[in-house]
């Protein structure tokens, strides 16, 4: 009997891996626990152990092959004395098998991302400095930090695993090598303490970039963020500012459940003294992070773990920045307005494309980019044109950013509205673990389409 060894999922967000190295060869006798291969994931290179025993009958991929989907067979082991049926797939079978795998993966990632590559809006395509190469969001963030650290030695980064480990999500890769341990600083797991320390350093004139491994852990430090960082300029009558960036992944990752999947956008957006940014593409991540680092105020920079692998073209000018407080009209349209930010931009784009195809609805999409200060003008101008508004965000519904937008629009554009504003949010429950429930919890493309139909009075 032969057994297939499958490409393992080595992180919650891994959908495919690269086969860096085989540690076995055909004919080897493999025991459970033996190392069989090195697999490179989106986060790290890891060794994989055998769970079953037998002789290696076939290696199905060569070393160096990339983008092998999770759950795809990569090797076959079994008893060589048995009449082995190394299943040679017929071409049709192969297609069916691949489809099956793809479908599985699709199912697995549907709740997480709809597209891997960002299609830039027409406006961005006109950017004459647009790179020919597509880079990931994590690279865009990394490059921007490195560029700013080269310009100003008061900029330094601290956080858990940012230095020697190269970042829990590889966002700080190679920064330690370039800038040394005085400026790329591993902290112990003490968010409250090191956040207060970084705030004190910012009061005294440094420009810290503080990475929360995820924003879930910022709750341990939230007193220092709100009571110290956000309020001291005011309490000191304008004497002491706090030029600091709090950054890291926010919102749901993939099946990490309630304590590790939470969207803090409305929490921080409520606080005067803080600026809050939520990038959605590699392009705006670069421009917005530069603005955040050079801003003299405390900035909450909400990244998204699922988006770290999102690829897109960027502006490589080391002075390119996107102003804080300015939304981007991602797609122009005339029938209704979708206001969104962060990861929900991709889902909103997918929904807009289906709305056009299936219902001939021409949706305008506004990507907020900055949540505080909010670009009311762009939202109101759009609503005055389309007369219909839906907001799409990953956070809980109560008191969300969309709630505030709905309030502003009913107050300042009441006469322009042809239907009530509808908010699309996550379910009003803690994030469940199970894949099926997680998908239900998160806003999906269909939820956006349903909301769009509702504001358009389409049954």
Largest CA distance in the chain: 84
Minimal distance in Å, beta carbon 210 to other proteins? 11
Instruction: Identify the residue among 29, 129, 236, 407 touching other proteins (CB under 8 A).
Output: 236
Instruction: Identify the residue among 13, 15, 232, 261 touching other proteins (CB under 8 A).
Output: 232
Q: Name which of 310 and 324 has its Cβ closer to other proteins.
A: 324
Interacting stretch for other proteins, rule CB under 8 A, among 3-11, 70-78, 128-136, 181-189? 181-189
Of 51, 279, 6, residue with least CA distance to 144 = 279
Does 273 engage in binding with other proteins (CB under 8 A)? yes
Residues 145-174 that bind other proteins (CB under 8 A): 156
- 115-143 burial code (b ≥16 CB/10 A, e <16): eeebebbeebeebeebbeeebbbbbbbbb
Does 239 engage in binding with other proteins (CB under 8 A)? yes
Minimal distance in Å, beta carbon 136 to other proteins? 31
Of 341, 369, 365, 344, residue with least CA distance to 353 = 365
Does 177 engage in binding with other proteins (CB under 8 A)? no
Minimal distance in Å, beta carbon 367 to other proteins? 23
Of 164, 156, 143, residue with least CA distance to 208 = 156
Distances (CA, A) of 385 to 354, 361, 406: 21, 14, 16
Q: Name which of 224 and 261 has its Cβ closer to other proteins.
A: 224
**Considering CB under 8 A, how many residues would be counted as binding other proteins?**
39
Angle (CA) 345 168 175, round 5°: 95
Cα-flanking dihedrals φ and ψ of residue 426, to 5°? -75, 170
Of 57, 59, 64, residue with least CA distance to 21 = 64
Up-side HSE of residue 229: CA atoms within 13 Å toward CB?
31
Interacting stretch for other proteins, rule CB under 8 A, among 60-68, 237-245, 427-435, 449-457? 237-245
Q: Name which of 87 and 181 has its Cβ closer to other proteins.
A: 181
Minimal distance in Å, beta carbon 94 to other proteins? 56
Minimal distance in Å, beta carbon 259 to other proteins? 19
Which string of x and - marks every residue 291-320 that binds other proteins (by CB under 8 A)? -----xx-----------------------
Instruction: Identify the residue among 27, 33, 64, 238 touching other proteins (CB under 8 A).
Output: 238
- Just list the catalytic residues: 191, 260
Instruction: Identify the residue among 47, 89, 106, 223 touching other proteins (CB under 8 A).
Output: 223
Residues 275-294 that bind other proteins (CB under 8 A): 275
Does 235 engage in binding with other proteins (CB under 8 A)? yes
Taking the CB of residue 167, how many other CB atoms lie within 10 A of it? 27
Does 241 engage in binding with other proteins (CB under 8 A)? yes
Q: Name which of 201 and 310 has its Cβ closer to other proteins.
A: 201
Minimal distance in Å, beta carbon 154 to other proteins? 8
Specify whether the CB–CB gap between 283 and 289 falls below 8 A.
no
Minimal distance in Å, beta carbon 142 to other proteins? 22
| Measured distance CA(224)–CA(175) in Å, rounded | 26
Q: Name which of 27 and 188 has its Cβ closer to other proteins.
A: 188
Specify whether the CB–CB gap between 217 and 168 falls below 8 A.
no
Cα-flanking dihedrals φ and ψ of residue 117, to 5°? -105, 130
74 contacts: CB under 8 Å, gap ≥ 6? 5, 6, 7, 19, 37, 59, 60, 61, 68
Minimal distance in Å, beta carbon 273 to other proteins? 6
Q: Name which of 142 and 275 has its Cβ closer to other proteins.
A: 275
Does 228 engage in binding with other proteins (CB under 8 A)? yes
Interacting stretch for other proteins, rule CB under 8 A, among 72-80, 96-104, 269-277, 408-416? 269-277
Q: Name which of 39 and 288 has its Cβ closer to other proteins.
A: 288
Instruction: Identify the residue among 29, 115, 227, 259 touching other proteins (CB under 8 A).
Output: 227
Q: Name which of 9 and 292 has its Cβ closer to other proteins.
A: 292
Instruction: Identify the residue among 6, 101, 116, 240 touching other proteins (CB under 8 A).
Output: 240
Structure tokens at 400: 């969300």
Minimal distance in Å, beta carbon 285 to other proteins? 22
Residues 193-222 that bind other proteins (CB under 8 A): 193-206
Please report, as ranges, the residues that interact with other proteins according to CB under 8 A: 156, 182, 187-188, 190, 192-206, 223-224, 227-228, 232-241, 272-273, 275, 296-297
């Amino acid at each position: 009997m032969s057994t297939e060894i499958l490409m393992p999922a080595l992180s919650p967000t891994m959908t495919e891996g690269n086969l860096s190295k085989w540690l076995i060869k055909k004919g080897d006798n493999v025991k459970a626990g033996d190392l069989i291969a090195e697999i490179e994931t989106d986060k790290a290179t890891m060794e994989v152990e055998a769970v079953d025993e037998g002789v290696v009958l076939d290696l199905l991929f060569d070393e160096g092959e990339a983008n092998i989907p999770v759950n795809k067979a990569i090797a076959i082991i079994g008893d060589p004395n048995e009449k082995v049926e190394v299943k040679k797939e017929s071409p049709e079978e192969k297609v069916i098998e691949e489809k099956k795998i793809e479908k599985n993966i699709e199912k697995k990632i549907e709740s997480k991302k709809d597209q891997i590559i960002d299609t830039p809006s027409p406006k961005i395509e006109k950017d004459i400095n647009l790179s020919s190469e597509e880079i990931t969001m994590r690279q865009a963030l990394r490059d921007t930090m490195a560029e700013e650290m080269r310009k100003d030695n008061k900029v330094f980064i601290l956080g858990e695993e940012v230095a020697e480990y190269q970042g829990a999500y590889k966002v700080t890769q190679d920064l330690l090598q370039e800038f040394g341990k005085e400026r790329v600083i591993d902290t112990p797991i003490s968010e409250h303490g090191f956040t207060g320390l970084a705030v004190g350093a910012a009061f005294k004139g440094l420009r810290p970039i503080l990475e929360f491994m995820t924003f879930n852990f910022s709750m341990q430090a939230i007193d220092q963020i709100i009571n110290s960082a956000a309020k001291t300029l005011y309490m000191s009558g304008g004497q002491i500012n706090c030029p600091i960036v709090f950054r890291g992944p926010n919102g749901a990752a993939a099946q990490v459940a309630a304590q590790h999947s939470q969207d803090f956008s409305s929490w921080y957006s409520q606080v005067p003294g803080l600026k809050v940014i939520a990038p959605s593409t590699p392009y705006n991540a670069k421009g917005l992070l530069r603005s955040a680092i050079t801003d003299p105020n405390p900035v909450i920079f909400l990244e998204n773990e699922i988006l770290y692998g999102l690829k897109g073209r960027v502006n490589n000018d080391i002075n390119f920045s996107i102003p804080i407080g300015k939304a981007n009209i991602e797609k122009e349209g005339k029938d209704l307005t979708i206001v969104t930010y962060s990861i929900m931009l991709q889902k909103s784009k997918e929904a807009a494309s289906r709305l056009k195809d299936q219902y001939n609805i021409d949706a305008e999409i506004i990507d907020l980019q900055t949540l505080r200060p909010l670009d009311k003008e762009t939202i109101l101008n759009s609503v005055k044109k389309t007369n219909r508004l839906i907001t799409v965000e990953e956070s809980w519904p109560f008191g969300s950013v969309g709630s505030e937008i709905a309030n502003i629009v009913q107050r300042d554009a009441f006469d322009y509205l042809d239907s009530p504003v509808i908010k699309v949010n996550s379910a009003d429950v803690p994030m469940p673990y199970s894949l099926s429930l997680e998908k239900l919890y998160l806003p999906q493309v269909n939820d956006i389409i349903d909301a769009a139909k509702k504001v358009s009075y389409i049954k």
